[in-house]
Amino acid sequence: MAFKVVVSEKAESYQVEVDETKAFNGLVIGDEFDGGLVGLDGYTLKITGGSDKNGFTMKKDVSGTRRIKSLLTGGIGYHPKKRKKVKGVSKRIPVDGVKRRKTVRGNTIAEDIVQINTVVTKAGSKPIADILGAGEEEEE
């Protein structure tokens, strides 16, 4: 099954579809890998997260490939907010102390993962936009 690798470099992000998933199996959040696996020769990418086929996010402090229900107070997988009317307009504001049980995925990449989020740790000689042809799509 193919999955997507989202590559972030400063304020720009690019999405690359990868068919060969075996090279990524067993990698953990925080691991670095060669960008040649996704077509970015000369780049080194660091895994920062991802999500599985059901949309559950990967969490760094959950080991393995399992899914668990965890009591979260905020952070990855849950952002508690409360509705509050300010001058007649309903707004959502962050709150402290609210907990909720949410399902999260472990930190190891397996067959169920469909998206991997990465950041560039070492840049190559050519810009990513030139390698992926991202500028050509915007002009059309």
* C-alpha–C-alpha distance, residues 14 and 3, integer Å: 14
Q: What pLDDT band is residue 140 in, cutting at 50, 70 and 90? A: very low
Listed range (1-15, 27-41, 105-119) with the worst mean pLDDT: 1-15
Q: What pLDDT band is residue 79 in, cutting at 50, 70 and 90? A: confident
By the 10 Å C-beta count (0-12 exposed, 13-18 middle, 19+ buried), 18 is classed as: middle
pLDDT for residue 76: 83
pLDDT for residue 125: 87
Mean pLDDT of the chain: 87
Contact yes or no for 109/64 (Cβ under 8 A): no
pLDDT for residue 136: 53
Q: Give the domain ranges of the chain.
A: 3-65+103-127
